Amino acid sequence: MSVTAVAADQSLCAPLPVLGRDVTVPLVTGGEVSYAALDYAASAPALQRVWDDVAAYAPYYGSVHRGAGYLSQLSTDLFENSRVTVAEFLDCREGDQVVFTRSTTDSLNLLAAALPADCEVFVFETEHHASLLPWQDARVTYLNAPRTPAEAVATLERALADRDPSASSRLRSKGHPNRPALVCVTGASNVTGELWPVKELAAAAHAHGARIVLDAAQLAPHHPVSVKELDVDWVAFSGHKLYAPFGSGVLAGRADWLQDAEPYLAGGGASKKVARRADGGVDVEWHTTAARHEAGSPNVIGVYSIASACKALTEAGFDQFVAREQRLIATVREGLAEVPEVRVLSLFGDDAPRVGVISFVVEGWNSSHFAAALSAEYGIGVRDGLFCAHPLVRTLLGSDPQTQGECGAPEAAPGEKSLNAIRVSFGAGTPDEHVERFVRAVKELVRDGAQWKYRTEDGRCVPDRG
């Protein structure tokens, strides 16, 4: 193999540098170990590149859109250029708007507030709560969990075809289009990691006169997302899952519903002109650009961190770290398959394409207890519970009871079976050793049991140090 080929092969195997990669944590059994952060699906560590870019900008921090001074002008340019960077990262269409929000949850609540009157919303019960719950004020149809991608498309097509045909007929007879409708779907499950057939769902939505919004919170950190290619109307994601801290998110897509809606927040920045009326009231002319829904002083550092992460991922090349992540996924799945007591949760089956998010249960263990032992005895951080996707996890777990053990699940009500799972998630910054340690730890805990005693404290399973 040539030197060039060796270098390319090494780059394929190297994780992107992230903050926290050198942090050590104490073990209850004694000593310290480097912390294995395997909870990327909740919040991914910040890329070192993002942190360095933010640190370089920090001395020049200034007000955005409001100042004549040099730092204000620089910060405004940085903010607006970040909007361009995100639009390029998402491969947006001409005329699409990029609105900066606080998170995916905030983005989808913004879109929910912008729905046209009498809009119908269709959402699968498998969604994360961020995309399941914002539509409470609309007419919502919740679709049952599909067991194949094809079933997901067929389920949506049936629901859209069946929507209030009499009302649609009356509207058409009066020269109006069909009742507005919106489909909300995830790109990758935050529970199983499985990829959803977004392009096919978008085609089904559009064939029935509906629009579609893509929750890309778990997809964008792992795969390129093209608004044009997927043909979605909007896409939402969070910076903190894209290796960018500081609490910012994105809603990008068609401008018309956003322009027609009342501002998400009323205040400075959203208003273009404000004047007193003779009767003592106030007239307001709102912006029609993305600023309409960005009232208040914007989180310029959060926005810049998202743009920096978009650039870093694009420049590193999705192909390289997607290939590496698939290798890590195989390591985890093959390792768990060697433990008969482990059941991996899945909607679409073993062969479904997926990102680095895997949930499972262990026979004989309560999941909270197992996760606590991974942390305290191996320095491995995972997630346990229902992952803010309660209907989906309960569907996947069915009625299987979990052993109560020394710690119970905080979600379990009195008399209710303890239902919770363990989720391991990783990405571009995960070292091989963290994944290998996790697989080894699962095997040892199942074979030998925990080395320490645990108890429930404030709803969490913790080592008993008494």
Q: What is the rounded CA–CA span in Å between residue 298 and residue 134?
A: 23
Q: How many residues does the chain have?
A: 466
SS3 content of the chain, % helix, strand, coil (to 5): 40, 20, 40
Burial of 140 (0-12, 13-18, 19+ CB in 10 A): middle
- The two tokens of residue 429 are 């910054």
Question: Which residue type does 18 have?
Answer: V
Cα 45 to Cα 23, 287, 296: the distances in Å are 12, 35, 28
Burial of 426 (0-12, 13-18, 19+ CB in 10 A): buried
Cα 108 to Cα 46, 171, 213, 426: the distances in Å are 23, 28, 9, 25
Q: What is the rounded CA–CA span in Å between residue 413 and residue 395?
A: 17
- The two tokens of residue 422 are 């363990």
Helix crossing, 367-378 with 432-448: angle to 10°?
A: 120
Given 92, 184, 388, 407, which residue is catalytic? 388
Q: What is the rounded CA–CA span in Å between residue 215 and residue 147?
A: 20
Whether 184 is catalytic is no
- Write the Ramachandran bin of 398: left for phi over 0, alpha for psi from -120 to 50, otherwise beta: left
Contacts of 414 (CB under 8 A, 6+ apart): none
What are residue 456's DSSP bridge partners? 461
Q: What is the rounded CA–CA span in Å between residue 223 and residue 318?
A: 7
Three-state DSSP at 380 gives strand
The answer to whether 89 and 306 are in contact (CB under 8 A) is no
Report, as residue numbers or ranges, the catalytic residues: 388
